[in-house]
Amino acid sequence: MIGICPNCGIRLKEPPFDNRETNEVVITLRYRGLIDNHIKLKPIEESGSCEICEASLDVIKKQKLFVKN
């Protein structure tokens, strides 16, 4: 598996895990369902969270800081 959300790019196995989906199978099924049905994903900045893994914008920013260190 890829280990990264295809929408927001968050690493699934790295903290913080604040109420987000980390199961790659579930994420893949959600993503494929949206893509196969030609549903456009909203930008994360607009919706406030990723539509695929449900990571909030704050969690994504925190992880980028965590991974850099």
Q: How many domains, in total, are found in the chain?
A: 1
What pTM value is reported for the model? 0.84
Q: What is the pLDDT of residue 69?
A: 67
- Give the 3-state secondary structure of the chain: CCCECCCCCCECCCCCCCCCCCCHHHHHHHHHHHHHCCCCCCCHHHHCECCCCCCEHHHHHHHHHHHHC
Q: What is the pLDDT of residue 66?
A: 81
Which structural domain, as residue segments, surrounds residue 19? 1-69
The answer to whether residues 55 and 3 touch, using CB atoms and an 8 Å cutoff, is no
pLDDT tens across 9-67, in order?
A: 999 999 999 999 999 999 999 999 999 999 999 999 999 999 999 999 999 999 988 87
The answer to whether residues 10 and 50 touch, using CB atoms and an 8 Å cutoff, is yes
Model confidence at 1, pLDDT cuts 50, 70, 90, reads: low
Q: Find where tokens 């994504």 sit.
A: 60
